[in-house]
Amino acid sequence: MRTVVVDAGHGGHDPGTSHFGLREKDLALDIARRLKQQLQAAGLSAVMTRNRDEFIPLSQRPAVANRIQADLFVSVHINANRKRSVSGIEVYYPRESVVSPSASYPPRVAPAEVALPTSTVRQILWDLVLTRSRRRAATMATGVCRAMEQQLGVPCRWVKGARFVVLREAWMPAILVEVGYVSNRQEAARLAEASYRQAIAQAIAAGILASLRDGVIRQGQEL
Ligand SMILES: [Zn+2]
């Protein structure tokens, strides 16, 4: 069974963005819960990084997925812009970045295979693992944005690489979905509706399931 970690952005003393009486941390948690249900209904195992209004440091979020060797990490956020006319969906995947020398091994790289790894060897091993999961994440990000655009009738603004902590510290394919702009009056009104949040969860799940069917994400990550 494949395992997806669903991460509701922000929480606790970090409300995220707030507009029209709506707080990002509340909307993200509600959509994440619905997404978890959708994934479970489709036969996947789904685990949440938080299931209540609590603060979780950024690094601890991908750490949850790393610890249980999840197959996919999905972070849910709500966007905002000073220009209130801006609206739409954005999906991000990890952009290449230099791995810190203190980084631990990806789980599938047995230390025995490299008796005394130099930092260069470690960097190469990391690159092998991360290049592949990054490529898969980019494909999945595109699939999710497309599914959301089709099912919600909201434009997918872009699919981009980004250096967000929650993405770059995950050992498995990781995506971050900005489901809409709460600073936009029309999108805020839709986000306030439970039925729309349910539709968002269904669309994200549909994008994930389509990528799984296409073999974008396979169970485990053999090097
Ligand atoms: Zn956010």
Residue 163: CB atoms within 10 Å: 11
How many Å lie between the centroid of ligand 1 and the Cα of residue 46? Answer: 21
Mean pLDDT for the chain overall: 89
How many Å lie between the centroid of ligand 1 and the Cα of residue 169? Answer: 17
How many Å lie between the centroid of ligand 1 and the Cα of residue 15? Answer: 9
How many Å lie between the centroid of ligand 1 and the Cα of residue 203? Answer: 19
Query: What mean pLDDT do residues 143-167 have?
Result: 96
Query: Taken in order 205, 142, 64, 126, is the CA torsion positive or negative?
Result: positive
Segment (H or E) for 194? helix 194-213
**pTM of the shown model:** 0.89
Q: Which residue type sits at 31?
A: I
Evaluate whether 144 touches 204 at the Cβ level (below 8 Å).
Answer: yes
β pairing state of 18-19 and 22-23: antiparallel
How many Å lie between the centroid of ligand 1 and the Cα of residue 213? Answer: 29
Is 80 exceeded by the pLDDT of residue 123? no
- Which letter, b or e, does each residue of 66-76 get, where b requires 16 or more Cβ atoms within 10 Å of its Cβ? beeebbbbbbb
Is 70 exceeded by the pLDDT of residue 187? yes
How many Å lie between the centroid of ligand 1 and the Cα of residue 79? Answer: 7
* DSSP 8-state symbol, 96: P
Over residues 65-95, the pLDDT tens digits come to 999 999 999 999 999 999 999 999 999 999 8
Q: If we measure between CA atoms, which residue out of 86, 63, 61, 87 comes closest to residue 76?
A: 61
Q: If we measure between CA atoms, which residue out of 141, 213, 136, 210 comes closest to residue 177?
A: 141
pLDDT of residue 215: 78
